[in-house]
Amino acid sequence: MTATTIERRPVLTIDDLSVVYDVEQPVTAVKGASFELSAGEILGLAGESGCGKTTLAYAVNRLHKPPARIASGQIVFHDADGSDVDLLTLGHDELRAFRWSKLSMVFQGAMNALNPVTSIRTQLEDVLLTHRPELGKKERRERAADVLRRVGVDPVRLRSYPHELSGGMRQRVMIAMAMILEPQVMIMDEPTTALDVVVQRDILREIVRLRDELGFAVIFITHDLPLLLEISDRIAVMLRGEIVELGDAATMYRSPRHEYTKKLLASFPSLSGSRGSFIRTGIDREDAS
């Protein structure tokens, strides 16, 4: 499947979502967030540290624990089978079955989340054992090898332990784990943080290629707006818990509306030439033609 053949149907709708931390002086970390995610779309979520990006991601995945709580709003998943699932009404068992199989998440600092005393094979196959118990041992092994190959890691590494892999390879393993059940939506929270720029670029290319090939949608969270301009179809910019601008990446690059978006763009000067000449090269090529 390629990006041009992906049916652009809605897959996730967030409506007026607010998240509050019930501390001594309650803090509203996400304020009335609303957006729609389409199948096969990469939606970038940008903003400074502490603006509520990760809080929003955790809310979508129902991962919050007290004192955090979802104060208002709706989160509706539009399944490929035509049904709609209100995520805020799912019970514990229903939610456990939903996560990873329909919507998965690559957490911030995920490459350090692997079990250090368990092989990569075991950790990948454990996901299948939990969510696809009908699969036999041979099918699980084939699936684990295939998904590792898809993210650019030699399946021979299934025998390895996390400490035997580089940071970039561990991050790829976490991406493989998030996609092993072929979810329709993947949330990626700073998936390339702490990696060198060459490895970052390789992983970003893999994410875009896999999206084109498999058709899943991505919510890609980072404070790096130029990075999002390269890979995203649309971008949502957050400031103090609110989405202050949401739109097409190319339009946002050329004509940002909100002052905060303009400041984000201006904070990443080019090493040579005008601002942003090292980013969004696809847009620059379109302009040149």
- Count Cβ atoms within 10 A of the Cβ of residue 125 and give its class: 0-12 exposed, 13-18 middle, 19 or more buried: buried
Q: Using the 8-state DSSP alphabet, how is residue 130 labeled? A: H
| C-alpha 61: how far from chain center | 11
Phi-psi region of 109 (alpha: psi -120 to 50; beta: other; left: phi over 0): left
pLDDT score of 282 more than 60: no
Per residue in 112-129, pLDDT tens? 789 999 999 999 999 999
155 CB-near residues (< 8 Å, 6+ apart): 144, 145, 148, 149
Per residue in 69-99, pLDDT tens? 999 999 999 999 999 999 999 999 999 999 9
**Domain limits, the chain:** 3-102+184-288, 111-182
Per residue in 182-233, pLDDT tens? 999 999 998 887 778 888 888 899 999 999 999 999 999 998 888 899 899 9
Sign of the Cα torsion 35, 107, 172, 227 reads positive
Q: Using the 8-state DSSP alphabet, how is residue 172 labeled? A: H
pTM of structure: 0.88
Task: Please name the helix (run of DSSP H) or strand (run of DSSP E) that holds residue 200, with its range, or none.
Answer: helix 197-214
Backbone angles phi, psi at 219, to 5 degrees: -105, 110
What mean pLDDT do residues 178-184 have? Answer: 96
Q: Which class is domain 3-102+184-288?
A: alpha beta
Residue-level pLDDT at 8? 77
